[in-house]
Amino acid sequence: MTKKKLSKANHIPEFATLEEEAEFWDTHSTADYEHGFKPVRVRFAKNLSNGITIRFDPDTLQKVRLVAHTKGIGPTTLIRMWVLERLQEAKQL
């Protein structure tokens, strides 16, 4: 078996900006550059958090959903962010 020599066409270039890199990958296949990638070990923690149930009246819940939608996130993520922000503010007092 002979190994193919890597040509400049198979070399992942350096990018000045994220936009430049995004444009490159929009027009190229990662399959052509597999030699340039290295495997990584990934570990996932289990049970990162516990849940809590919060009850809202329908109008309040609708407002939360609307704000979350305008931010492009889910309502539980938005509420979690708000709680963490308030806890950070309370810590600074």
* 16 domain residue, yes or no: no
Dihedral pair phi/psi, residue 51, rounded to 5° = -90, 160
- Give pLDDT tens digits for 41-78: 888 777 777 889 999 999 999 999 999 999 999 999 99
* 45 domain residue, yes or no: no
The whole-model pTM stands at 0.48
Full domain range(s) for residue 66 = 58-92
* 28 domain residue, yes or no: no
Domain count within the chain: 1
* 83 domain residue, yes or no: yes
* 75 domain residue, yes or no: yes
* 18 domain residue, yes or no: no
* 71 domain residue, yes or no: yes
Tell me how far CA of residue 76 lies from CA of 61, 71, 93, in angstroms: 11, 12, 26
Q: Are 77 and 68 in contact (CB under 8 A)?
A: yes
* 15 domain residue, yes or no: no
- Give pLDDT tens digits for 75-87: 999 999 999 999 9
